[in-house]
Each structure stands twice: as structure tokens, then as C-alpha cells.
Amino acid sequence: MYSYRWAKFLIAGARYNESHFLLVEFYIHHETDGIIKPGICRNRQWVLSHLVNGSTLFTLNQNNNKWERKDRIILNQVAGRYYIRTHPSPHPGDDIGYHFTQGCMI
């Protein structure tokens, strides 16, 4: 079966200029055949901003002390938890999902 990569965020939320900003660290989890392997901590910080119509956001990635606008991502709510998906991977069945605990976004 396919492997899925999930990033579970540790959330620190802030508001700025009426937009939603979240500074995060995340853990990458690999799931193969229903088995979730231990996470690897990535310390890169991201800002998620520009909440549009409750579902569309853009990421800003801190790189060399600059904030760069990155991929468009979609916010979905599944079973009371928030998931963010980037554009699908070119490999069938392989998406990157970002997991948010309930209520941290809105």
C-alpha cells in the first residue's frame, strides 16, 4: 500500500492584522499499511495566514530570516479535527497532511 506523511503540529497561536497566524513546530509521521512509524521532529517554523472563506490558507515559510509565501493549502475538518492538505503529490495516494487539534484554528 501507499505511504502517507503526516505532520502533527505543536501550536502557538497569535493574531496580527485581523488574520490568523500560527507559529508551529511539527513532527513527521510515516504511515505504511496502517502502521504509523515514530515521528521525526522538524524545527522549522511556519506561519499560516490569510484565512479565506474558512478553508483556504497560504503558508509563509521562514527562510534566511525572510518570510516566503509558499503553497496554497486547504483546511478540512474531519471528525472534529482540522487537517490541512497541500496540493496532491505526483505519486498516487501520497498526500501530505497537517494535523491540527480541535479548535486551534478558529
43 domain residue, yes or no:
yes
How many distinct helices (H) and strands (E) make up the chain?
A: 0, 8
Contacts of 59 (CB under 8 A, 6+ apart): 46, 47, 48, 49, 69, 70, 71, 73
Work out the pLDDT band at 96, boundaries 50, 70, 90: very low
Other C-beta atoms closer than 10 Å to the C-beta of 58 total: 15
106 domain residue, yes or no:
no
Domain membership of residue 19 as a residue range: 3-100
105 domain residue, yes or no:
no
Identify which of 31, 28, 66, 32 has the alpha carbon closest to the alpha carbon of residue 47.
Answer: 66
pLDDT in tens, 3-45: 333 333 333 333 334 444 444 444 445 556 655 555 554 434 4
pLDDT in tens, 49-89: 444 444 444 444 555 555 555 444 444 444 444 454 444 44
